[in-house]
């Protein structure tokens, strides 16, 4: 583990940028960026275009270590280059930003009010490659839709089981049990989730550390105990579909919680913008998210 990056992520001011749209969400992300499906004819061309978008974000002067602690990458982004360097090396060496990798393979069908992660059958190989590419940490997402104790326990059990494999590989896992912002019982889901997370955190050894990525809670400061837990490096918040303004306002209500936004970071960016227009739009988003995170 890179101790300098660990200290920055744990103690630094700023937020984690989520640049990890995968195969299923890539067309939607490109469309929001102004690149329609008629601009590519196959998956390779699609991923080249989305890498171009991410490259434009990462190389922008607005994307800097003064505001951004880390960036979460899609696996193909990890294997591609920016200015002749692997993306993670560019982030770390040129930008001073810790690189994370999305490792989950998507969601299983809903059962007991939740969606578990699909099996990560190539986890050992992915973690080996992540270390070769100088990745700092990983991210994996599950979804909670109903306050079902059995379902929520299964989500957290699975997350921590995989998380311990990631820790053993020398990386820091971001555990992400997202509570659907549209759930009619969102507060009840969050109470059950908090209890399960604390149970698992209390069982970690002194050298086992995790990050948590959670939906901004309905009750402000609900996750204070998680933020202060000695085994938690940082608790970050996903935007969950909220606009930048709404996500930022909700985030400000929660002391110690910082952003890890995707849509809220890029919603005003467009492929047809000039460099000045693009950098200005990105700079405004970065600044507003940063201010909500400190």
Cβ atoms of residues 94 and 85 within 8 Å: yes
- State the pLDDT at residue 264: 82
- State the pLDDT at residue 243: 84
Alpha carbon of 232 to those of 1, 132, 271: distances in Å? 16, 25, 38
For residue 63 the two structure tokens come to 């994307």
Residue 25 has pLDDT above 80, yes or no: no
φ/ψ of residue 102, rounded to 5: -70, 125
Q: What is the distance between the alpha carbons of residues 97 and 95, in angstroms, rounded to a whole number?
A: 5
Active site residue 291: no
The three-state secondary structure class of 17 is strand
- State the pLDDT at residue 96: 97
φ/ψ of residue 74, rounded to 5: -80, 155
Q: How would residue 20 be classed by pLDDT, with cut points 50, 70 and 90?
A: confident
Q: What is the distance between the alpha carbons of residues 243 and 215, in angstroms, rounded to a whole number?
A: 14
Q: pLDDT digit string (tens) for 105-142? A: 999 999 999 999 999 999 999 999 999 999 999 999 99
- State the pLDDT at residue 248: 94
Q: How would residue 24 be classed by pLDDT, with cut points 50, 70 and 90?
A: low
Q: How would residue 23 be classed by pLDDT, with cut points 50, 70 and 90?
A: low
Q: What is the distance between the alpha carbons of residues 30 and 235, in angstroms, rounded to a whole number?
A: 28
Question: Catalytic pick from 75, 176, 190, 196?
Answer: 176
Cβ atoms of residues 31 and 11 within 8 Å: no
Q: How would residue 293 be classed by pLDDT, with cut points 50, 70 and 90?
A: very high
- State the pLDDT at residue 145: 98
**At CA 189, angle to CA 161 and CA 193, rounded to 5?**
30
Q: What is the distance between the alpha carbons of residues 282 and 268, in angstroms, rounded to a whole number?
A: 7
Active site residue 3: no
Provide DSSP, 77-133: HHHSEETTEEHHHIIIIII--EEEEE----BPPPBTTEEPBPP-TTHHHHHHHHHHT
Alpha carbon of 93 to those of 5, 67, 70, 81, 109: distances in Å? 11, 16, 12, 13, 40
Nearest CA to 111 out of 158, 74, 68, 65 is that of 158
Q: How would residue 155 be classed by pLDDT, with cut points 50, 70 and 90?
A: very high
Q: What is the distance between the alpha carbons of residues 130 and 211, in angstroms, rounded to a whole number?
A: 17
Residue 244 has pLDDT above 90, yes or no: no
Alpha carbon of 263 to those of 66, 208, 232: distances in Å? 21, 31, 25
What mean pLDDT comes out for the span 18-29?
79
- State the pLDDT at residue 22: 63
Q: pLDDT digit string (tens) for 171-213? A: 999 999 999 999 999 999 999 999 999 999 999 999 999 999 9
23 contact partners, CB below 8 Å, separation of at least 6: 43
The three-state secondary structure class of 259 is strand
Angle of the 275-293 helix axis to the 244-252 helix axis, nearest 10: 20
Question: Catalytic pick from 8, 102, 213, 250?
Answer: 213
What is the residue-averaged pLDDT of the chain? 95
The predicted model scores a pTM of 0.96
């Amino acid at each position: 583990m890179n101790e300098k990056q660990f200290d920055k992520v744990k103690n630094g001011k700023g937020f984690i940028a989520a640049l990890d749209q995968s195969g299923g969400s890539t067309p939607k992300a490109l469309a929001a960026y102004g690149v329609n499906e008629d601009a590519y004819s196959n998956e390779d061309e699609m991923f080249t275009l989305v890498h171009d978008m991410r490259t434009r974000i990462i190389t922008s002067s607005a994307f800097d270590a003064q505001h951004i602690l880390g960036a979460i990458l899609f696996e193909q982004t990890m294997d591609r280059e920016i200015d002749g360097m692997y993306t993670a090396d560019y982030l770390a060496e040129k930008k001073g930003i810790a690189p994370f990798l999305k490792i989950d393979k998507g969601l299983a069908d809903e059962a007991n009010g939740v969606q578990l992660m699909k099996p990560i059958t190539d986890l050992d190989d992915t973690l080996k490659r992540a270390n070769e590419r100088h990745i700092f940490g990983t991210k994996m997402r599950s979804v909670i839709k109903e306050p079902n104790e059995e379902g929520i326990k299964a989500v957290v059990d699975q997350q921590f089981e995989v998380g311990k494999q990631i820790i053993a590989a020398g990386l820091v896992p971001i555990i992400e049990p997202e509570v659907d912002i549209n759930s009619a019982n969102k507060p009840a889901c969050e109470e059950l989730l908090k209890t399960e997370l604390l149970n698992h955190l209390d069982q970690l050894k002194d050298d086992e550390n995790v990050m948590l990525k959670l939906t901004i809670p309905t009750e402000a400061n609900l996750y204070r105990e998680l933020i202060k837990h000695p085994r938690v490096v940082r608790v970050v918040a996903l935007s969950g579909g909220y606009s930048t303004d709404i996500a930022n306002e909700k985030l400000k209500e929660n002391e110690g919680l910082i952003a890890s936004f995707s849509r809220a970071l890029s919603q005003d960016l467009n492929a047809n913008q000039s460099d000045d227009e693009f950098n200005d739009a990105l700079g405004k988003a970065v600044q507003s998210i940063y201010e909500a995170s400190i």
